[in-house]
Amino acid sequence: MAVVLITGSSTGFGKLAALEFARHGDTVYASMRNTAKGEALLSEAKAANVTVNVIALDVANRASVDAAVAGVIKESGRIDVLVSNAGIGIHGPIEDCDDDEIHAVLETNVLGVIRAARAVAPHMRAQKSGTIINVGSLAGKVSAPFGGVYSASKHAVEALSDSLYFELHPFGVRVVIVEPGGFETEFGANRILARRFNEGSPYVEYEQRFNASSSKLPGADQHESAQKVADVIVEAAKSDAPKRRYLVGQDAQTIGGLAKQMSDEDFEKAMRTVLDFWD
């Protein structure tokens, strides 16, 4: 059975993945900044008759990351799977996002991924085995209005995952990126709302038109269960030959697939035709 370390496990994909790995009999370390928020996870684990270890880890703090990884190694002797799931969102036009808001997103979504990978890589290289799974997003493949900063952070995860793949492959370490679309999680409620994106912003009317158009897309109000993402994370970790990328969700597969197959100009025309919000 594998020793699994997951970041951002208090809710959403991280919590569900922790439970799913535990159901497979793995030794699971579910990390989060505030371990008091792990009560729901522990309660669900108890109800499922599985064991999950909740530990403190703040991906925005290098000492915290290094200490958590060292603690897992000391206790279990190895780390077979790292799931870098911790992340925060931000909503607002780039012009209205302040430096501190942008910094908070990049600190967690980009530097957090780097810190976690950098901490486990020496141990996985020594083992000559291991899997790093970075949770990206459809937003890292396709940007939308009012999500540019978040998309930038997830696009960075794409680049980091590619480089890590080539750097660690010779040492027997696998790197995978999971790219979810829209799912039922607490993520949207917890995202940063740019403080200057208010009634005084010139983008407010534009956002209203964009939201109205987006809401008419088929299935826009019917997000899939987040368990699907957890299942893919576990599948990738267990596979003898995982894919490098997993687009998860009907919206991710449809939009991501179109963006990959079409030129930038044709993709823009298709989106403008479907959404019909931009004169």
Instruction: Give pLDDT tens digits for 198-232.
Output: 988 999 998 888 888 777 665 566 568 999 999 99
> Does 190 or 28 have the greater pLDDT score?
28
Active site residue 150: yes
Name residue, tokens 């809710």. Answer: 11
Helix (H, G, I), strand (E, B) or coil at 32: strand
* pLDDT at position 2 over 80: yes
Nearest Cα neighbor of 104 from 71, 37, 147, 149 is 149
Q: What's the rounded Cα separation, in Å, for the pair 9 and 22?
A: 13
What pLDDT was estimated at residue 222?
A: 59
Q: Which domains does the chain have, with CATH numbers?
A: 3-199+224-252 (3.40.50.720)
Q: What's the rounded Cα separation, in Å, for the pair 6 and 14?
A: 7
Q: What's the rounded Cα separation, in Å, for the pair 28 and 41?
A: 12
Nearest Cα neighbor of 121 from 84, 85, 154, 158 is 84
Determine how β-strand 3-6 pairs with β-strand 81-84. parallel
Rg (CA), the chain: 19
Name residue, tokens 């809401």. Answer: 215
Q: What's the rounded Cα separation, in Å, for the pair 145 and 126?
A: 44
The one catalytic residue in 29, 150, 165, 206 is 150
> In sequence order, which residues have a C-beta less than 8 Å from that of residue 230 and are 6 or more positions away?
13, 16, 17, 19, 20
The first and second tokens of residue 139, run together, are 């937003």
- How confident is the prediction for the chain on average, in pLDDT? 92
Sort 227 into a burial class: Cβ within 10 Å, 0-12 / 13-18 / 19+: middle
* Interval 74-124: pLDDT, tens: 999 999 999 999 999 999 999 999 999 999 999 999 999 999 999 999 999
* pLDDT at position 251 over 60: yes
Q: What's the rounded Cα separation, in Å, for the pair 86 and 112?
A: 8
